[in-house]
Amino acid sequence: MRASKFIPLAIRSVLYRAAVVVLILGWSENSFGQKVVQPVLGHRSVEILKVGKLEFKDLNKNHQLDKYEDWRLPVDERVNDLISKMTIEEKVGFMVISTTRMAGDQSFQAGAAKTEITSGFNEEDLIQTTNMFTRKPLPSPNMTAAGTTKGVLTYNLRHFILRANTNAKTIAEWSNNLQALSESSRLGIPSIVASNPRNHVTIDNSIGLSVGTTTFSKWPGELGLAAMRDFKLVREFAEIAAQEWSAVGLRKGYMYMADLATEPRWQRVEGTFGEDANLAANMIREIVLGFQGQKLGPHSVALTTKHFPGGGPQVDGQDSHFDWGKNQHYPGGMFAYHLIPFKAAIEAGTSAIMPYYSRPTGPQFEEVGYSYNKAIIADTLRSKLGFKGIINSDTGPIDMMPWGVETLTIPERYQKAINAGVDIFSGNADPTVLLETVKKGMVSEQRINESMARLLKEKFLLGLFENPYVDPDAAAKIVGNAEFQKKADLAMRKSIVLLRNDAKLLPLAKGTKVYFETCYDNGRTKTPVTVFKPETNLWNLEFVSTKDEADVILMWLIPNGGGLFSSAGTPIELGLSKNRIDVAHVNEIKNSKPTIVVINYTNPWVIDEIDNGNLKTVLATFGTTQDALLDVLSGKFNPSGKMPFTTPVSMKAVLENKADVPGYLEPAGYALFKFGDGLSYK
């Protein structure tokens, strides 16, 4: 992989020794006369079978080499052999993916990002009985997460989502324990562990969106990556992140979002690459190729691109996690425009695609959620776009977000979704009802086998059947290492956008006295305003404690609407005062001294409350650090970022916006800052 140049020398030596082991073990030829190299076999309890100089794992413990255990054979042949050996219970268990837990895991509680989690298995089932999105009782049975041992050995689960946020060595040790447990099962089928993004500075790190600040290398938010307009660095980001993820045993990403931010109120804009389909397509292409490589292999992280066919054009910006936000529409007739980034993902080889919860409205669509929508999945995604990979439902469309099919029974919902094309269901740890659906003949075993073939092929290509284990000590050295973070720090700086420099305050002159205030209110803190006083001053500036001492005031505004899961169905406002910014305070300060206003955008905020003709110096950030910002303001780094979306001039303009149309195509007078805006010093 191209990213190997980023690996520190100490880590390269570990990989080199592994390669030497492969060569020492020898090579042979397969049935086509091609040379085959002995892979490293990771195992804990199964025996090793020897064929000449070559070794194989006896995964089903029958003391003979089965086709699915023979790494020399074509993947499709191995897949078909394993399917023939699996019971219907094992197949159905393979078709659900649930949240898995660690002992002491606090990832579902406030402050989870700061909680250390010990390694081990949680034997208790997490039973959820109420739909948090509709406040109604859930059908029974319903488990959104299962104790790991019970999930693997009783329910035959092999797909898991890890939400826990802890150190690299702990995750790696936990992953090894999970794989050892899976290896002990009847057929020894390894597990695969997925995660939401772990490498970004983000405001809304809610469960299911982003893990937030972690020990992994820290990069700008997704909007910030798009603002860089540096596709080479985007590829490098993905290659670096893939090394970190693989090192701890995370081999599948529930990411990235190919959705377009065409509705400025949508509560998931932060996770997109902006409003422009071609920019998003270029971003998705580089990210898929960076994480997966040109094809899936032992060093890849398989991606699940989401949310087909694009979750951006939500009615009134409400999100379809919730009953009040279930409808999606295309008032501008731009359905095809939203498919462009998904086409790029497919061309790049994305392993899986996730449909969204939303149900489309209008006579051209069946008004059912996309996981149930045959015209969307089978006809558009499969037939028209030619996608041959895994179709992975979002979390909970069967029990929690069954939009448009509420009157169907749970088995009927499974039936409709599978017939539409879904291969694996996220958000349920108990496959009992799905099994009953199959046993009743509502879904044929042949159709189940089609999904099994796709799901198993991914695991074989990733090399999990040969070696699913990782080195915890190496993981601790790889994850978040200094060489990786150096690249991420560059991205932090390249993501910052200079929008106005009318007063020519920037770059700040040497010795300027700066009062630097950060305004951020998360709804819990008693000090929403903090004053920055660096321990080490790297910028030839003088940082003062009061505005009266300052030559220049720097205000970094970080609006916060409370996050996706604080939604209550009320109208969504984009004004600063509606998103926890003290507008009166900002206006008082900026009217007193020359002021630099920096706004962190997670949505296209409306800033007319502070922009009344005297806001001369404005920058945009999309998840970055204070050091990166000061490097730009001081002139140590020349700003180069470009806006990934258009920001509307007023809430009136927002309300007149067509939800599926990018801002730069809206009528004249819509935009305050346009898509692509961005200045430099020279």
Q: Cα 322 vs. chain centroid, distance in angstroms?
A: 20
Q: How many CB atoms lie within 10 A of CB 425?
A: 26
How far is it, in rounded angstroms, from Cα 287 to Cα 345? 9
668 CB-near residues (< 8 Å, 6+ apart): none
Q: Strand pairing partners for 305?
A: 353
How far is it, in rounded angstroms, from Cα 593 to Cα 272? 36
Q: Strand pairing partners for 426?
A: 97, 395
- Exposed, middle or buried, 588 (CB in 10 Å: 0-12/13-18/19+)? exposed
How far is it, in rounded angstroms, from Cα 183 to Cα 60? 9
The pair phi, psi for residue 207, each rounded to 5°, is -55, 130
- List the beta strands (DSSP E) in 447-602: 497-501, 513-519, 529-531, 542-543, 552-557, 595-600
Asked whether the beta carbons of 201 and 625 are under 8 A apart, the reply is: yes
How far is it, in rounded angstroms, from Cα 256 to Cα 246? 17
> Among candidates 293, 369, 307, which has minimal Cα distance to 342?
307
How far is it, in rounded angstroms, from Cα 374 to Cα 381? 9
Q: Give the catalytic positions in this structure.
A: 394
- List the beta strands (DSSP E) in 221-368: 252-253, 302-308, 327-328, 352-355, 359-360
Q: Strand pairing partners for 618?
A: 500, 597
Distance in Å from the first CA to the final CA of the chain? 36
DSSP type of residue 37: E
Helix (H, G, I), strand (E, B), or coil: what is residue 568? coil
**Half-sphere exposure for 196 (CA within 13 Å, toward CB):** 23
How far is it, in rounded angstroms, from Cα 565 to Cα 267? 9
- Residue 148 tokens read as 């790991």
DSSP type of residue 522: -
How far is it, in rounded angstroms, from Cα 296 to Cα 285? 15
For residue 681, cis peptide bond before it (omega within 30 degrees of 0): no
Q: Strand pairing partners for 327?
A: 359
Helix (H, G, I), strand (E, B), or coil: what is residue 329? coil
Among all chains, which residue has been given the structure tokens 């002995």? 38
Asked whether the beta carbons of 374 and 413 are under 8 A apart, the reply is: no
> Among candidates 634, 624, 626, 452, which has minimal Cα distance to 539?
634
Q: Cα 323 vs. chain centroid, distance in angstroms?
A: 23
How far is it, in rounded angstroms, from Cα 160 to Cα 98? 5
> Among candidates 633, 594, 597, which has minimal Cα distance to 518?
597
